[in-house]
């Protein structure tokens, strides 16, 4: 069996890349071990704050129209620290945009991408199969699956998440460390309107994000509470009223009384960055290349940026009759994305460490820096544009 590109992993990154290439007529094989059809509630699970650049990518793929009802615009960002010494507030009005992005669940985006896959006869989706071996040759790559498929292609793409098999089989090294934190994820109803604001408070046990959501015209909030592991375990052991009391206290009742809408789920947090994004005839995108702290819900923005950058280069080489798995192209992709992904990861670390620190010198520096950012119009605009992904 021959394909031009084999993509391992049909999460948002892998399924988006499959659409981007298949719609240009390429022969694509997409493989996922988990058969990620959306079962149950589309509003459940992880949430992302998609910036304007990511929304443009989904528009280009034809995905945005189908998920329009699941998108909630966020127009303002309000960040503060629980000591009451520092805060930042930004609005889309300041850069002449109607919004900074949309909040949406991972499930909603997946429902959009996966529903479009059958439209492409040149795209084969092997659902419920997984990668077994990779055998790179000079001109091609041989991919074998646990289900017994043997596929030849020009390039294999690892879109198989944080525990990427493509990364491991390609002997790509990683740099990783644990944050010693867990993220608690839940849907909340609030007494007051969220006013399409993304709230973020930094407490001494970790940052808490409340992202604005809407379902059937009813407002709710998506909680991402990143808490030190011991404290997170204590929170998970609390009964519902005590959990909500603690949360209201930590977010200083910024949206009034809170109630839970469903269950709380949790996952351990770590930072991961692949030292290279490519090896011979294989390349990484999305969480397979980088996992970042979810404090601002930015993980998917980076993944969709990878999709666009890689798709453009593959299609360009193909148009020019050049090898779509050439080392030259993979180096070019890797360099371009590393720069952007590392900058965002660094930015998140500055925020996390700057706001999260109890060190008085760090706090003094942070307060001075954010004082300047709050007042300097040029810097404010740059920051807002960065958050909206329009730089
Ligand atoms: C539990 C959890 C909660 C999160 N919450 C947030 C959040 O609140 N905010 C935020 O910004 N980010 C969050 N993230 C991160 C964000 O969801 C990711 O950045 C994003 O989903 C990554 O997309 P992806 O397509 O790269 O990888 P994934 O979504 O991980 O998709 C990988 C796919 O590869 C498949 N796969 C894996 N191995 C194989 C194999 N060997 N063969 C075939 N298929 C394979 C899997 O079945 C899966 O479908 C969370 C991540 C997790 C795991």
CA distances from 41 to 106, 107, 111, 187, 341 (A): 11, 8, 11, 12, 31
pLDDT of residue 265: 92
pLDDT: which is higher, 386 or 50? 50
| Res. 95 pLDDT band, cuts 50 70 90 | confident
pLDDT (mean) for 269-298: 90
Residue 49 has φ and ψ, to the nearest 5°, of -100, 90
Residues with CB under 6 Å of ligand 1 are 8-14, 31-34, 36, 46-48, 106, 130-131, 159-161, 165, 185, 224, 267, 286-287, 294, 297-300, 303
Virtual CA dihedral for 163, 167, 173, 176, nearest 10 degrees?
-20
Pocket perturbation via mutation, ligand 1, pick of 112, 300, 345 by most ligand atoms within 8 A of CB: 300
The SS3 of residue 379 is helix
Q: pLDDT digits over 110-123, tens only?
A: 999 999 999 999 99
Cα 64 to ligand 1 centroid, rounded to whole Å: 20
pLDDT at 326 over 90: yes
CA distance 155 to 149: 16
What's the pLDDT tens digit per position in 120-161?
999 999 999 999 999 999 999 999 999 999 999 999 999 999
Q: Whose CA is nearest to atom 53 of ligand 1?
A: 267
Show the domains of the chain with their CATH numbers. Answer: 5-70+104-176+271-388 (3.50.50.60), 179-269 (3.30.9.10)
Distance CA 97, CA 273 (A): 32
pLDDT of residue 371: 63
Distance from the CA of 187 to the center of ligand 1, in angstroms? Answer: 19
Residue 183 has pLDDT above 80, yes or no: yes
Q: Which atom of ligand 1 is nearest to the CA of 49?
A: 11
Cα-to-centroid distance, 218 and ligand 1 (Å) = 28
Res 146: pLDDT: 97
Q: Which of 72-81, 241-250, 335-344 has the highest mean pLDDT?
A: 241-250
Mutation probe of ligand 1 site: the residue of 6, 9, 18, 284 with most atoms within 8 A of C-beta: 9
The C-alpha torsion from 250 through 255 and 260 to 263, rounded to 10°, is: -60
CA of 34 to the centre of ligand 1 (A): 11
Mutate which of 160, 210, 267, 268 for ligand 1? The one with the most ligand atoms within 8 Å of its CB, which is 160
Give the pLDDT score at 118: 96
Specify the pLDDT at position 179: 81
The pTM score is 0.91
Which pLDDT score, from 0 to 100, does residue 29 have?
98
Answer whether residue 351 shows pLDDT above 80. Answer: no
Residues in the chain: 391
130 CA: nearest ligand 1 atom: 42
Pocket test for ligand 1, best of 39, 63, 299, 302 (most atoms within 8 A of CB): 299
- Report the pLDDT averaged over residues 200-207: 87
Segment 355-372 mean pLDDT: 56
Pocket test for ligand 1, best of 14, 117, 143, 161 (most atoms within 8 A of CB): 161
* pLDDT, averaged across the chain: 89
Q: Are 382 and 391 a contacting pair, CB within 8 Å?
A: yes
**Atom 22 (ligand 1) nearest CA:** 287
Ligand 1 center to residue 139 CA distance, Å?
A: 30
Contact between 102 and 55 (Cβ < 8 Å)? yes
pLDDT recorded at residue 229:
93
Ligand 1 atom closest to the Cα of residue 146 is 42
Higher pLDDT pick, 180 / 259: 259
Judge whether 123 and 250 are in contact, CB under 8 Å.
no
How far apart (Å, rounded) are the C-alpha atoms in residues 272 and 286?
11
Which ranges of 90-147 would DSSP assign to H, the alpha helix?
A: 106-116
Per the CB < 8 A criterion, the answer to whether 116 and 130 are in contact is no
Pick the more confident residue, 59 or 357.
Answer: 59
Mean pLDDT, residues 171-193 taken together: 92
Q: How far apart are CA 78 and CA 61, in angstroms?
A: 31
Residue identifier of the C-alpha nearest atom 15 of ligand 1: 299
Q: What is the pLDDT of residue 160?
A: 97
Indicate if the pLDDT at residue 360 is higher than 60: no
The CA-atom distances, in angstroms, between 45 and each of 117, 183, 186, 236, 303 are 22, 12, 8, 17, 18
pLDDT band at 358 (very low <50, low <70, confident <90, very high): low
- In this predicted structure, the answer to whether residue 101 has a pLDDT above a threshold of 70 is yes
With 80 as the cut, is the pLDDT of residue 344 above it?
no
């Amino acid at each position: 069996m021959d394909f031009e590109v084999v993509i391992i992993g049909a999460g948002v990154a892998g399924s988006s890349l499959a659409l981007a290439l298949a719609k240009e007529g390429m022969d694509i094989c997409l493989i996922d071990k988990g058969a990620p059809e959306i079962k149950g509630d589309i509003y459940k699970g992880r949430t992302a704050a998609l910036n304007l650049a990511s929304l443009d990518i989904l528009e280009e793929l034809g995905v945005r129209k189908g998920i329009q009802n699941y998108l909630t615009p966020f127009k303002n960002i309000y960040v503060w620290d629980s000591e009451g010494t520092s805060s930042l507030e930004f609005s889309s009005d300041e850069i002449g945009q109607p919004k900074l992005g949309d909040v949406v669940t991972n499930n909603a985006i997946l429902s959009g991408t996966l529903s479009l896959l059958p439209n492409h006869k040149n795209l084969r989706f092997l659902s419920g199969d997984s990668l077994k071996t990779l055998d790179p040759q000079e001109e091609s790559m041989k991919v074998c699956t646990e289900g017994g498929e043997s596929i030849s292609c020009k390039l294999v793409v690892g879109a198989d998440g944080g525990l990427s098999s493509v990364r491991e089989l390609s002997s790509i090294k990683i740099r990783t460390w644990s944050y010693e934190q867990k993220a608690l994820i839940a849907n909340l109803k609030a007494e007051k309107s969220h006013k399409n604001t993304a709230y973020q408070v930094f407490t001494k046990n970790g940052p808490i994000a409340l992202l604005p959501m809407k379902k059937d015209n009813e407002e709710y909030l998506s909680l991402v509470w990143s808490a030190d592991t011991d404290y997170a375990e204590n929170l998970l052991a609390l009964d519902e009223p005590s959990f909500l009391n603690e949360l209201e206290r930590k977010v200083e009742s910024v949206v009034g009384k809170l109630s839970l809408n469903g269950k709380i789920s949790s996952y351990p947090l770590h930072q991961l960055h692949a030292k290279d994004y490519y090896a011979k005839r294989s390349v990484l995108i999305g969480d397979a290349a980088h996992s970042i702290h979810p404090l601002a819900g930015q993980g998917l923005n980076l993944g969709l940026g990878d999709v666009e950058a890689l798709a453009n280069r593959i299609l360009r080489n193909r148009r020019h009759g050049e090898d779509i798995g050439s080392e030259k192209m993979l180096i070019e992709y890797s360099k371009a994305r590393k720069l952007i992904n590392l900058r965002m990861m660094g930015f998140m670390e500055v925020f996390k460490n700057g706001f999260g620190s109890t060190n008085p010198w760090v706090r003094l520096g942070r307060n001075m820096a954010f004082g300047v950012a709050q007042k300097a119009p040029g810097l404010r605009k740059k920051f807002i544009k960065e958050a909206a992904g329009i730089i």
